[in-house]
């Protein structure tokens, strides 16, 4: 415990030194609140307000880092791309002596740094980051693989009394970890090849009819034209010789022994779009093309992350089917749409406390720290919905 406190203090200082005057001011303020213990006021958080002056007790969070605790804290930062999640995660990790765990499906691949928005070493500011670069460029990483690895990392952090701070944009991976996956087969490429052969010859609807014969309930849930999901469902039914829907009913096992404190970032849409635009331009100026050439050279054309947003366009550019300008504009538009899809996914995530700004905005950081203090203090807390309106 003493150790954690010391670490916490040191790292918070380091954070203050490493930043500009605005955030230095913030840091000293949070240090002040960290130091004090709150006599009350923790329970008066209204449903739609972040409590005004709940002192943040780093102790209350750090004290809970007991390897044997049934509710070991786990911070999760969700939000659309470019909302400043990674920066906030580093900030939180520094403040509480934590380590960051990624849940982004592209950042898990080695060699895809610029286009995936991976934080550079300097930006990580000494905070260990897990589940980055754990897959080879030519490999196929999956939600199941992610879950297995993430569980190990969580147990590792727990045994070392470190606070896990999870961040990323892949809602499915997060859910796979937190809620678990059903007991089903991993993917089978041969079977899939056969199935997609059917789809090509007889149309996507054919596969859907096939699925309906095996498992009516699942077929009803999946749109006939969604070949990707239809194929997976068929794969499950054929390999297991059981209905997908029955397997689902048998349940799934989520992480045990952790209590997730979920922070959602939902910055104003127009501003987010602006950031996405700028960020995309920087990627194209800053080496995404080189990454693509490199990947094409070593992993070959089949590399999964080469299909990811930005990489897809950069590749088209390298191969000459798109101009540089087109590639940028297309990436920007599609990234905006992606951000939208992320919001519709995360909005349904349970018990997220939403903040209407960017994770690297000192004001938002402040609100997050305050909320964490109140959330840690009591077992129940109010959750408000995300604001992701246009304008």
Partner RNA sequence: GGACAGGUGGCUGAGCGGUCAAAAGCAGCAGACUGUAAAUCUGCCGGCCCAUGUGGCCUACGGAGGUUCGAACCCUCCCCUGUCCA
d(CA 329, CA 273): 12
Is residue 198 part of the contact set for RNA (CB under 7 A)? no
Nearer to RNA, 124 or 336 (CB): 336
- Of 49, 256, 321, 344, the one binding RNA (CB under 7 A) is 344
3-class secondary structure per residue, the chain: CHHHHHHHHHHHHHHHHCCCHHHHHHHHHHHHHHHCCCCCCCCCCCCCCCCCCCCCCHHHHHCCCCCCCCCEEEEEEECCCCCCHHHHHHHHHHHHCEEEEECCCCCCECCCCCCCCCCCHHHHCCCCEECCCCECCCCCCCHHHHHHHHHHHHHHHHHCCCEEEEECCCHHHHHHHHCCCECCCCCCHHHHHHHHHHHHHHCHHHHHHHHHHHCHHHHHHCCCCCHHHHHHHHHHHHHHCCCHHHHHHCCECCCCCEEEEEEEECCCHHHHHHHHHHHHHHHHHCCHHHHHHHHHHHCCCCCHHHHCCCHHHHHHHHCCCCCHHHHHHHHHHHHHHHHHHHHHHHCCCCCEEEECCCCCCHHHHHHHHHHHHHHHHCCCCCCCCCCCCCC
Nearer to RNA, 43 or 319 (CB): 319
Site for RNA in 245-274 (CB under 7 A): 248, 251-252, 269
- Of 129, 208, 232, 315, the one binding RNA (CB under 7 A) is 232
- Of 231, 234, 237, 255, the one binding RNA (CB under 7 A) is 231
- Of 342, 353, 367, 374, the one binding RNA (CB under 7 A) is 342
Shortest approach of RNA to residue 252 CB, angstroms? 5
Q: Binding string to RNA for residues 281 to 320, with x set by CB under 7 A, is what?
A: -----------------------x--xxxx-x--------
Q: Binding string to RNA for residues 42 to 81, with x set by CB under 7 A, is what?
A: ---------------------------------------x
Is residue 226 part of the contact set for RNA (CB under 7 A)? yes
d(CA 322, CA 315): 9
Shortest approach of RNA to residue 157 CB, angstroms? 23
Is residue 383 part of the contact set for RNA (CB under 7 A)? no
d(CA 114, CA 291): 8
How many residues bind RNA (CB under 7 A)? The answer is: 67
Is residue 169 part of the contact set for RNA (CB under 7 A)? yes
- Of 33, 111, 131, 141, the one binding RNA (CB under 7 A) is 141
Site for RNA in 75-134 (CB under 7 A): 81, 104-107, 115-117
Nearer to RNA, 73 or 305 (CB): 305
Nearer to RNA, 60 or 170 (CB): 170
Is residue 184 part of the contact set for RNA (CB under 7 A)? yes
Q: Binding string to RNA for residues 346 to 375, with x set by CB under 7 A, is what?
A: -xx---------------------------
196 phi and psi, to 5 degrees?
Answer: -70, -20
Judged by the rule CB under 7 A, the positions of this chain that interact with RNA are 81, 104-107, 115-117, 140-145, 169-173, 175-176, 180-184, 186-187, 192, 196, 221, 223, 225-229, 231-232, 236, 248, 251-252, 269, 304, 307-310, 312, 330, 333-334, 336-338, 340-345, 347-348, 388-390
């Amino acid at each position: 415990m003493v150790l954690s406190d010391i670490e916490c203090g040191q790292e918070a200082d380091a954070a203050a030194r490493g930043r500009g005057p605005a955030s230095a001011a913030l840091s000293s303020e949070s240090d002040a609140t960290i130091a004090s213990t709150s006599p009350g006021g923790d329970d008066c958080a209204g449903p739609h307000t972040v409590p005004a002056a709940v002192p943040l007790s780093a102790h209350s969070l750090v004290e809970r880092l007991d390897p044997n605790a049934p509710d070991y804290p786990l911070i999760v930062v969700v939000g659309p791309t470019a909302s400043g999640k990674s920066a906030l995660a580093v900030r939180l990790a520094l403040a509480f002596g934590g380590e960051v765990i990624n849940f982004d499906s592209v950042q898990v691949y080695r060699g895809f740094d610029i286009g995936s928005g991976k934080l550079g070493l300097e930006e990580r500011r000494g905070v260990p980051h897990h589940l980055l670069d754990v897959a080879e460029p030519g490999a196929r990483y999956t939600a199941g693989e992610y879950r297995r690895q993430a569980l190990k990392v969580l147990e590792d952090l727990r045994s070392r009394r470190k606070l896990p701070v999870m961040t990323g944009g892949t809602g499915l991976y997060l859910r796979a970890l937190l809620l678990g996956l059903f007991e089903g087969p991993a993917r089978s490429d041969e079977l899939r090849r056969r199935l997609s052969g059917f789809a090509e010859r007889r149309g996507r609807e054919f596969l859907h009819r096939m699925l309906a014969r095996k498992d009516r309930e699942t077929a009803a849930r999946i749109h006939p034209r969604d070949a990707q999901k239809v194929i997976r469902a068929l794969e499950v039914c054929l390999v297991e010789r059981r209905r997908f829907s029955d397997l689902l009913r048998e349940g799934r096992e989520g992480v045990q022994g952790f209590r997730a404190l979920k922070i959602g970032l939902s910055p104003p849409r127009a501003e987010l779009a602006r950031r996405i635009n700028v960020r995309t331009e920087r990627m194209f100026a800053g080496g995404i093309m080189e990454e693509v050439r490199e990947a094409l050279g070593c992993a070959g054309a089949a590399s999964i992350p080469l299909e990811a947003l930005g990489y897809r366009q950069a590749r088209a550019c390298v191969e000459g089917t798109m101009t540089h300008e087109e590639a940028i504009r297309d990436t920007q538009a599609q990234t905006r749409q992606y951000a939208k899809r992320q919001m519709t996914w995360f909005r349904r995530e349970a018990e997220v406390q939403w903040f209407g700004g960017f994770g690297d905005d000192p004001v938002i950081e402040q609100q997050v720290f305050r909320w964490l203090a109140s959330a840690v203090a009591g077992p129940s807390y109010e959750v408000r919905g995300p604001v992701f309106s246009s304008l």
